[in-house]
């Protein structure tokens, strides 16, 4: 059956997801402030600033079978996060509930920044969320707004996203910089293509009648320390670590994400660990050739 999917905040993840859904024969509408990036993608563009969205007017957003809310704050400030996450999502929910035929499910792309654990604890969907930053707090507020809403909704908390165009760590290591062994800081990662794969998979689960939970933790299958990830990259790049990155004055979060609930839905990771994901990036990005010149 051909579905209509509305992707709000149609950036890198949204465009990649949209392309995958188009290949499956679905209709995709992408909402952005500026829609030039959607040209020639096949995604129907809808130029809209969520701050201008009238929550009581059902015509302000088209009817859709599924809504993917994957908005990014335009700057790292509390006001920008308040606008992008709890306020923006609530406006969208206010519109979609007015439609004669509401969405079958709304997905909110959240973040593992809602966890505040710092001692390498294992966390899952049942773990306490006590974020230490305004970004995590406001993300958690948005999650709760969806969970509490009458429309069916699912939150997906993604860990550190990497992939095409997200290669800062590779450049750091190529320059000889790696994280220190101590303090031991765990790094949880997920490739951009698995973010896309998970959302497409959950839509397929709903369509096949499988019950979905209100929350999933989207992280790959191997939590690992930041030091070990960077040392692996150094070995692949054949560079010597000459500079140790200093830890921030305020200790960052450090936890190990458990993805068992997601795996139980039948999802198979395209990049199960950082090795497959970064390995592919090193090959496609020409980093290995550069190091061998």
How do the domains of the chain map onto residue ranges? 4-166+189-221+256-270
Task: Indicate if the pLDDT at residue 275 is higher than 90.
Answer: yes
Q: Cβ of 156: how many Cβ atoms within 10 Å?
A: 21
pLDDT tens across 60-108, in order?
899 999 999 999 999 999 999 999 999 999 999 999 999 999 999 999 9
Task: Indicate if the pLDDT at residue 211 is higher than 90.
Answer: yes
The average pLDDT across 205-227 equals: 96
Q: What is the pLDDT of residue 286?
A: 75
| Helical pair 274-284 and 226-237, crossing angle rounded to 10 deg | 40
Distance (Å, rounded) from C-alpha 115 to C-alpha 223? 15
Q: What is the pLDDT of residue 58?
A: 85
CA dihedral (173, 174, 176, 180) in degrees, to 10, reads 0
Distance (Å, rounded) from C-alpha 279 to C-alpha 237? 10
Distance (Å, rounded) from C-alpha 177 to C-alpha 245? 6
HSE-CB at 290 with a 13 A cutoff on CA atoms is: 13
Return the DSSP state at 166: B
pLDDT tens across 166-186, in order?
999 999 999 999 998 888 889
Q: Cβ of 67: how many Cβ atoms within 10 Å?
A: 27
The structure tokens listed for 227 are 């030091």
Task: Indicate if the pLDDT at residue 43 is higher than 80.
Answer: yes
Residue among 196, 268, 270 nearest 22 (CA): 196
Q: Cβ of 101: how many Cβ atoms within 10 Å?
A: 8
Tell me the three state secondary structure of residue 8: strand
Return the DSSP state at 86: I
Q: What is the pTM of this model?
A: 0.93
Taking the CA atoms of 262, 263, 265 and 270 in sequence, report the sign of the dihedral they define: positive
Residue among 43, 16, 39, 33 nearest 166 (CA): 16
Q: What is the pLDDT of residue 252?
A: 67
4-166+189-221+256-270 topology per CATH = Rossmann fold (3.40.50)
pLDDT tens across 109-168, in order?
999 999 988 889 999 999 999 888 899 999 999 999 999 999 999 999 999 999 999 999
């Amino acid at each position: 059956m051909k579905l209509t999917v509305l992707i709000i905040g149609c950036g890198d993840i949204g465009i990649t997801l949209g392309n995958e859904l188009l290949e499956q024969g679905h209709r995709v509408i992408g909402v952005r402030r500026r829609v030039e990036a959607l040209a020639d993608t096949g995604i129907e563009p809808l130029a809209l600033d969520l701050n201008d969205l009238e929550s009581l007017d059902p015509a302000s957003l088209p009817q859709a079978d599924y809504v993917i809310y994957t908005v990014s704050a335009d700057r790292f400030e509390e006001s920008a996060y308040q606008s992008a996450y709890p306020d923006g999502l609530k406006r969208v929910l206010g519109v979609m509930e007015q439609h004669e035929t509401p969405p079958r499910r709304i997905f909110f792309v959240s973040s593992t920044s809602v966890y505040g654990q710092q001692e390498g604890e294992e966390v899952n969907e049942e773990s306490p969320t006590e974020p230490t930053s305004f970004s995590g707090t406001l993300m958690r507020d948005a999650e709760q707004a969806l969970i509490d809403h009458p429309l069916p909704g699912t939150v997906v908390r993604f860990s550190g996203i990497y992939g095409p165009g997200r290669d800062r760590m590779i450049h750091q290591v190529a320059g000889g910089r790696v994280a220190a062994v101590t303090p031991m800081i765990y790094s949880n990662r997920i490739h951009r293509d698995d973010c896309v794969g998970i959302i497409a998979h959950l839509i397929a689960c709903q369509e096949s009648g499988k019950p979905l939970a209100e929350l999933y933790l989207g992280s790959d299958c191997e939590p690992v320390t930041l030091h070990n990830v960077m040392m692996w990259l150094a070995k692949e790049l054949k560079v010597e670590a000459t500079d140790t990155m200093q830890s921030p004055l305020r200790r960052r979060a450090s936890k190990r994400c458990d993805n068992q609930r997601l795996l139980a839905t039948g999802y198979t990771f395209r990049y199960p660990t950082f090795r497959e994901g970064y390995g592919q990036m090193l090959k496609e990005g020409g980093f290995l050739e550069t190091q061998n010149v």
